[in-house]
Amino acid sequence: MEIHIVADADAGAKVVADLFERTVRDAGDSGAVLGLATGSSPVPTYTELIRRHRVEGLSFAACRAFLLDEYVGLPAGHEQSYHAFIRENFVSKVDIEDASVISPNGAATDPAAEAAEYDRRISEAGGVDLQILGIGSNGHIAFNEPGSSLASRTRVVGLTRSTIADNARYFDSPADVPVRAISQGLGTILEARRIVLTASGEGKAAAVAQLAEGAISARWPATVLQTHPAVTVVVDEAAASQLELADYYRHSRALESDIPLSTDR
């Protein structure tokens, strides 16, 4: 796990955008498969990628993308659906084909079958080249809440009270927040070839400390990322504030700054 402690969201977005740019350029005309996330954490990265598209000509035209998750029960096209969120914050502002950006259908009549089919589609596309993740204050990644199997596949999940409270800011009232979602499983996410997780703010500090330094456990689902060979974690000072080894991470990043990104660690 490679941990970058950055000054602010803009500095973090540059680190993460560099990984996306490298992935997109390396794939060339065959097109990278991008793993996209919703929530506030990835937004500065999307903003930086939109800038690179507009100003530097970075093209996503050959890419395909899969979202991590989708609420169950919102009507298709609902403004708080993740399908709509990713279009508003990224997809509509770059040159990726709309039809190449795929998410679970939260309005499916059989959500369990939709989840299994979604998992299959990701494999059929050859798997995800680079997956961006946020982290919940309770340590979830995607909607893999505490207690999720570390080998879980895409499935229908119930949201915890804390996640519903965290997400209520996007809805008129907490009662409007959907209580179920279709989420890629932890086992599904681990199949991405490279993973980058980004977090900011003190509210994420406990989860980030567990992610990087806690015991691997379903209690903190993000700890499963310790078993993946190519994970980059990008956090601001507040989110890094409970890391016991913060000085070591700073020191080792300085020493390793000339090692190519393709080196797994």
Rounded CA gap, 132 and 12, in Å? Answer: 13
Determine, following the binding rule CB under 6 A, whether residue 39 of this chain makes contact with ligand PGA.
yes
- Active-site annotation holder among 105, 138, 144, 167: 138
- Active-site annotation holder among 145, 166, 167, 236: 145
Closer residue to ligand PGA, CB minimum distance, 31 or 42 = 42
Residue 18: active-site member: no
Buried b (16+ CB within 10 A) or exposed e, 139-173: bbbbbbbbebebebbbbbbebbeebbebbeeeeee
With contacts defined by CB under 6 A, name the span among 13-21, 33-41, 148-156, 251-259 that binds ligand PGA.
Answer: 33-41
Closer residue to ligand PGA, CB minimum distance, 100 or 103 = 103
Would the CA dihedral through 152, 204, 72, 114 be positive or negative? Answer: negative
Residue 138: active-site member: yes
Determine, following the binding rule CB under 6 A, whether residue 135 of this chain makes contact with ligand PGA.
yes
Determine, following the binding rule CB under 6 A, whether residue 40 of this chain makes contact with ligand PGA.
yes
CB of 82 to ligand PGA, least distance (A): 11
Rounded CA gap, 265 and 248, in Å? Answer: 15
Whether the Cβ atoms of residue 181 and residue 157 lie closer than 8 Å to each other = yes
CA proximity to 263, closest of 227, 223, 224, 232: 232
Closer residue to ligand PGA, CB minimum distance, 62 or 164 = 164
Helix or strand or coil: residue 198?
strand
The tokens for 105 are: 């259908």
Residue 89: active-site member: no
Task: Please select the residue that binds ligand PGA; options are 17, 20, 34, 41, rule is CB under 6 A.
Answer: 41
Which positions are annotated as active-site residues?
A: 69, 138, 140, 145
Residues near ligand PGA, by CB under 6 A: 39-41, 134-136, 140
